[in-house]
Amino acid sequence: MPRVALVLSPGFQMMCFAAISAFEIANVAAGERHYDISILSEEGGPVKSTLGAALETERFGDPGDFDTVIAGGLMKPAPVSDGLIAFLRAASVRCRRVASICTGAFMLAEAGLLDGRRATTHWHFARDLQARFPKVKMEEDRIFIVDGPIWTSAGMTSGIDLALGMIEKDYGADLARVVAQNLVVYHRRAGGQSQHSNLLKMNPKSDRIQNALTFAQQNLRAALGVEQLARAANLSPRQFSRAFRAETGKTPARAIENLRVEAARLMLEQSRHSLDEIAVENGFTDRERMRRAFLRTFGLPPQTIRRATRFGAEG
């Protein structure tokens, strides 16, 4: 049974436990104990969070006792103790994988575990990490990254995606999907997905426009004309078009294209589907329409983005 350890430092952010909950739910969903979970700290005993509440922890022991060690993030990076560095270095040798949530990446970097590796962290701190640890191959626009035995994730909630990725690798996609459903996560975001979603960038003010965008994201393969989107928003087509542009700064057609391009890029990076299959799956009808949309958005055709992604994965 894989033993998973979450490593905490004083001032840890409570959202770290969202990721650990995924392993807990995996046990429940599977109907048997797939994971044994431990909460560790350097000294053991109570460790205070950013909220001031203390959590009881076990003292560091032999990292070889664990399959997976995850460094929990702080609200902002802080100095790392010699004891924590030594534990993480030992874990990188003794454990199957070592991971970080959010600013926990600074701890891995301080221990030298990210040297020469691809890694990510919360976008707000990514450039600071790169400046302090220039040997790290920072990819600041990723949800999580797996480079060999080292896993790093972006902001706190992306720790859930990282944990679901581990569950999928350990026990398959079906269990990961059930866990995501139990956590009421819409879907498991793949590691290559951008931290900066087009849905977040559009940031509609009303629930009606948000409902239309959510409907669109869930039905990208459909035609998605103004009339269909207006029905999802419970507005007339004329009211919808006016309200949509006022709230998002985009026309419905351009917004839908952006969502399709985002989803198609993710499939390019994370799957082996052909360009024709990706185009149809994301509502472009054919690969030529998808190519033109990619050129408008990225200035590059899909083939170039796929080649660059594969080169980066092999580098």
Within a domain: residue 157? yes
Range of the domain at 220: 197-315
What per-residue confidence (pLDDT) applies to 197?
Answer: 55
Same-domain status, 273 and 244: yes
Active site residue 102: yes
Same-domain status, 174 and 245: no
Gap between the Cα atoms of 130 and 120, Å rounded: 10
Gap between the Cα atoms of 297 and 261, Å rounded: 8
- Condensed to tens digits (0 to 9), the pLDDT of residues 186-200 reads 444 544 445 545 555
What per-residue confidence (pLDDT) applies to 262?
Answer: 87
Within a domain: residue 30? yes
Contact, 5 vs 40, CB < 8 A?
Answer: yes
Structure tokens at 262: 């985002």
Same-domain status, 52 and 132: yes
Which residues of the chain are under the pLDDT cut of 70? Answer: 186-203, 308-315
Gap between the Cα atoms of 74 and 10, Å rounded: 8
Average pLDDT along the chain: 88
Within a domain: residue 188? no
Structure tokens at 69: 């060690």
- Condensed to tens digits (0 to 9), the pLDDT of residues 217-252 reads 889 999 899 999 999 999 999 999 999 999 988 899
Within a domain: residue 189? no
Within a domain: residue 165? yes
What per-residue confidence (pLDDT) applies to 292?
Answer: 94
Within a domain: residue 81? yes
**Four-residue CA torsion sign, 255, 298, 103, 36:** positive
What total of structural domains would you count in the chain?
A: 2
Q: What is the pTM of this model?
A: 0.65
Within a domain: residue 192? no
Same-domain status, 34 and 96: yes
Pick the last residue of a domain from 130, 155, 182.
182
Same-domain status, 156 and 15: yes
Read off the CATH number of the domain in which 166 is found.
3.40.50.880
What per-residue confidence (pLDDT) applies to 187?
Answer: 47
- Condensed to tens digits (0 to 9), the pLDDT of residues 91-125 reads 999 999 999 999 999 999 999 999 999 999 998 89
Same-domain status, 111 and 236: no
Within a domain: residue 173? yes
Same-domain status, 220 and 312: yes
Read off the CATH number of the domain in which 234 is found.
1.10.10.60
Q: How far is CA 130 from the centre of its chain?
A: 19
Q: Which of 190, 117, 107 is nearest to 148 (CA)?
A: 117
Same-domain status, 30 and 171: yes
Selected catalytic residue, list 8, 102, 180, 266: 102
What per-residue confidence (pLDDT) applies to 198?
Answer: 57
Same-domain status, 39 and 81: yes
Same-domain status, 162 and 234: no
Strand partners, 99: 70, 151
What per-residue confidence (pLDDT) applies to 200?
Answer: 54
What per-residue confidence (pLDDT) applies to 147?
Answer: 94
Q: Where are the alpha helices (DSSP H) in the chain?
A: 16-30, 82-94, 104-110, 123-132, 158-171, 173-182, 198-202, 207-218, 226-233, 237-248, 252-270, 275-281, 287-298, 302-314
What per-residue confidence (pLDDT) applies to 217?
Answer: 86
What per-residue confidence (pLDDT) applies to 193?
Answer: 47
Same-domain status, 126 and 271: no
Torsion over CA of 51, 139, 202 and 286, rounded to 10 degrees? -140
Residue 311 phi, psi dihedral angles, 5° rounding: -65, -40
Same-domain status, 12 and 141: yes
Q: 41 to each of 6, 70, 96, how far by Cα in Å? A: 9, 11, 20
